[in-house]
Structure 1
Amino acid sequence: MALGLNLVAAGAHGGGWRMPEAKTDAAMDIRFWKQMAREAEAAKFHFMFWADGIAVRSSAKDEEQLSYDSRIDVFEPLTLLAALSAVTEKMGFIATASTTYNEPYNMARKLASLDHISEGRVGWNVVTSWSEDEALNFGRDKHMEHSSRYRRAEEYIDVVFGLWDSWEDDAFIRDKASGQYFDPAKLHTLHHHGEHFKVRGPLNAARPIQGYPVIAQAGSSGPGQDLAARTAEVIYTMQKDRDEAAAFYASVKGRFARYGRSPDSALVMPGMMPIIGRTMQEARDLFERLQELIHPQLGLAALAGSFGDLSAYDVDGPLPPMLADSNAVKSAHVRLAKFLDGRALTIRQLYQFRAASGHHLIVGTPESIADEMQDWFEHRGCDGFNILPPFYPQPVRDVFHLLVPELQRRGLFHTEYAGSTLRENLGLARPGHFHHRQPAHLAAGN
């Protein structure tokens, strides 16, 4: 299986940073990140992954409620990626960047540059932005409607791919004798005119080492699955049980044929938070300590997107009805409604469930956690996992030193990198230049 490491701010669990042994300033400590990158590479992780947004994203009703949220101060991931690629050699890095509030030319140039700087170890997690907070930072009064975001994203990706193909792989001949720097026959200016973008090109950077950086995508809604089937090579998702994961796996991979792609051309990697103990009791005790540290203000803010302001309700009383719809992460809203159907939970019980992690949370020993990961993997619920430690540093080191060796002992995880690029290590093909993929009569027209 493939394994990614998703290091979220000061930890992925809402109460994790409050643990006595937690490093509270991890999010902005570059020495810590460098050390984690070296340790993750020693453990043979395929990549580090950053889910990111371009705002302080929260449903908190005011600054007082917001002040209990630890996911505030974080590095911009493309910048961090550049720094960490300099202290590693084989492990990849996948950074999130929004198609809603970035221009495709800038994004194509940054990622092409990073792919060269890292020597072919970069991936792009394509997101459409879900938060109203992001809209307010980019001259809008409200967030772009869900379907419009996806139409823009599809065109955006086409533009970025076209810009990466501005130059064929061997276009830059740099011939001192003739004085010619590149072969003009191997330049392909984009001249894109579409619904959302008008981009002439060409890109002022050579074609990425990997052809294209690895494309990751995290949407689980219908449009999100279609976008993933058309473009993604790593599909990041949020299922919480094996049958649900297997249904998603079959659904998204069942869409690949309509885009002329093999289902094997992408890896489905759900998020997973392991709470590891050397015994089951130790793991349960750790989980209970974490749950008790979720502050009610943080919990109420976590539910606001689906329930509105709950501050007037008794947190140990029953949940009110959910809001009818959401313009944010629609798939998450739908999944929550399905989860609550037939369940009678208090507000506190739900916010403890939600603030712990939006992903699958497994409490157990290295052996029992590996059992569940193996079960998902062998029943086609996933091709691997993106692992979210609840806080730092000990839980992530438990993954490196306890969980990974157990997976390796079972033959489920590699013991050495297969190659030097992220594509090679994930078993993904390098895309050839479009000029050599297209039928000759189409390529000649460009």
Structure 2
Amino acid sequence: MLWTLGGEYDGPHPWRRSGRWRPDHRRVRQVAEAVDTLPFSGALMAIGLPGTFDPWTMAASIAPVTERMRFLIAAYPGVMTPTQLALAALSLDHVSDGRLMINVVGSNPVTMAAHGLHLEKDQRYRMLSDYWNAFRTLYAGQQPPASELFPIERPETFLSLEPRQTPHPPLWGAAGSPEGLQAVVPLVDTYLAAVGTPTELAQRTALAAEIARQLGRPVPSFGVSIGVLVRETEDEAWAEAERKLAHVSIDEIKASKGWQAALAADPATADARERRCIEAIEDGRMLAARDLEFYPNMWNGPIDRAGIDLRRLLAAPNSMLIGDPRQVAERMREIQTIAGIDRFIIWAPPFHEEAYRVADLLLPQLDLDARLAPAAAPLGAVA
């Protein structure tokens, strides 16, 4: 069970400017110290939204004040050279006693362009494979495979730190397109399925497992990133959901990516609930929280990146588990049983306050496995 740390807007209502807090390192440190003492294995540190902090810098600053939490840092291929990324990973692993994990982010063209990388889709996925194969060998102190994109020569002149994890930090990653799956699945130890109903998740993990077998690779572990809105009673959880929706206006919904995606999709594929939601917004009527429940104890509330994803069409994690502790735990166990997912990255703003609430109410309901933490064996302990 991982929490979320940095790379996201924080605050009581972060989907609107007036409800989010300015980035504050002291608050991120507070969240990290909470994660470190609560029964989480670690936290995702995503590629930041505008104005948020660099995850590598934040992890390096937080590692000395934490002892057991692991840092799952999101990284795009090509933003750093494979050699520089290996140095950053080795350095952070030494600073943190081997607590690094890396989230292999695919090839978002908007983010890549912001870093001066302009590649066609097939080129992006080719670079992704070459990049991460080079990183894995460089971290291990070996010569990377030959590559036209990364013709790395004599990396030992730059890299001499002994690896802290064998063979490399655990790699997590997600992909949506067929090309992305073919590139990401053979690279990662944990595949992150796009959030959906338990059956939808099962379809996604089954496809990833089949691709791994076709490529002769081990089937990875499976995870998902999903929000959590848990309260002592179901009524309290839905009342909180209504309070959140009270901080969203019709105009904000209509200006959001979620609304534009809903309008652009084929109306014939919308179910009755989705049609009711779209008609309500078109008529200028605000939705009730229960209107957004697309599966028992799963709903699409407002999030900072997309507004409300009315038809669950966006790539960003946008759904939340909602209910009392027993209900949310039951839904997580259903996801585990049906889809084989046993690694959850969960989030709920404000991150500090909700981390304690989730740890107090939800985590005791789950049979947590602590193998992701503590971190690797001390340096020199592995022959």
What is the TM-score when the length of structure 2 is the normalising length? 0.79
Could you tell me which amino acid in structure 2 is paired with residue 96 of structure 1?
A
Tell me, yes or no, if structure 1 residue 138 matches structure 2 residue 115: yes
- How far apart are the structure 2 equivalents of 1:370 and 1:77? 30
Would the aligned equivalents of 2:77 and 2:127 in 1 still touch at CA under 8 Å? yes
Q: Deviations over 1:296-325 (max 9, x none)?
A: 565445428965xxxxxxxxxxx64349xx
Deviations 1:189-230 (A, max 9, x none): 44x542322111224232421121111112132222223321
Name which of 52, 74, 80 aligns with 1:96.
74
Distance 1:119 1:90, change over 3 A: same
Partners of 2:188 and 2:268 in 1: CA distance = 26
- Alignment of 1:44 with 2:69, yes or no, is no
CA distance in 2, matches of 1:305, 1:193: 45
State, as a whole percentage, how many aligned pairs show the same letter.
22
Matched, 1:273 2:270: no
Given that residues 104 and 156 in structure 1 are in contact (C-alpha distance below 8 angstroms), is that contact kept between their aligned partners in structure 2?
A: yes
The question of 1:9 aligning with 2:6 is answered no
Q: Return the alpha-carbon distance in structure 1 between the equivalents of residues 207 and 263 of structure 2.
A: 32
Tell me how far 1:100 sits from its aligned partner: 3.8
Return the offset for 1:159: 1.2
Does residue 383 of the first structure (1) align with residue 342 of the second (2)?
Answer: yes
Aligned counterparts of 1:90 and 1:258: Cα–Cα separation in 2: 37
Structure 2 residue matching 1:245: 3-state secondary structure: helix
Contact persistence 2:301–2:318 (CA under 8 A):
no
> Which runs of no fewer than 5 residues in structure 2 stay unpaired?
282-286, 293-299, 310-316
Larger Rg: 1
Picking from 199, 210, 231, the partner of 2:152 is 199
Number of aligned pairs?
345
2: CA distance, partners of 1:13 / 1:373: 25
The equivalences for 1:274-353 within 5 A come to 274-295=228-249, 299-303=253-257, 307=261, 320-322=263-265, 340=270, 343-344=274-275, 345-346=277-278, 348=281
Q: How far, CA to CA, are the matches of 2:344 and 2:143 in structure 1?
A: 39
Tell me how far 1:406 sits from its aligned partner.
1.9
8 Å CA contact retained: 1:294, 1:352: no
Q: Are residue 228 (structure 1) and residue 184 (structure 2) matched?
A: yes
Quote the Cα distance in structure 2 between the aligned partners of 1:303 and 1:103: 32
* Map of 2:307 onto structure 1: 355
Q: Provide the residue aligned with 1:253 in structure 2.
A: 209
Deviation of residue 232 (structure 1)?
A: 0.5
In structure 1, the residue matched to 2:63 is 85
Q: Deviations over 1:24-44 (max 9, x none)?
A: 23xx22222222222212222
- Taking the aligned partners of 1:219 and 1:233, their CA distance within structure 2 comes to 14
Q: Which residue of 1 aligns with 2:296?
A: none
Instruction: Give the residue type in structure 2 aligned to 1:73.
Output: G
Contact 2:64/2:96 (<8 A) preserved: yes
User: Are the counterparts in 2 of residues 15 and 356 from structure 1 also a CA contact under 8 Å?
Assistant: no
Helix, strand or coil: the match of 2:307? helix
CA contact (8 A) 2:301 2:320 kept: no
Instruction: Name the counterpart of 1:429.
Output: none
1:122 aligns with 2:119: no
| Distance in 2 of aligned mates of 1:231 and 1:356 | 32
In the alignment, the residues of structure 1 paired with residue 209 and residue 146 of structure 2 have an alpha-carbon distance, to the nearest angstrom, of 31
Give the letter aligned to residue 243 of structure 2: R
**Correspondence for 1:181:** none
Higher RCO structure, 1 or 2 (CA under 8 Å, sep 6+) = 1
Q: Distance in 2 between matches of 1:341 and 1:131?
A: 31
Q: Counterpart in 1 of 2:295?
A: none
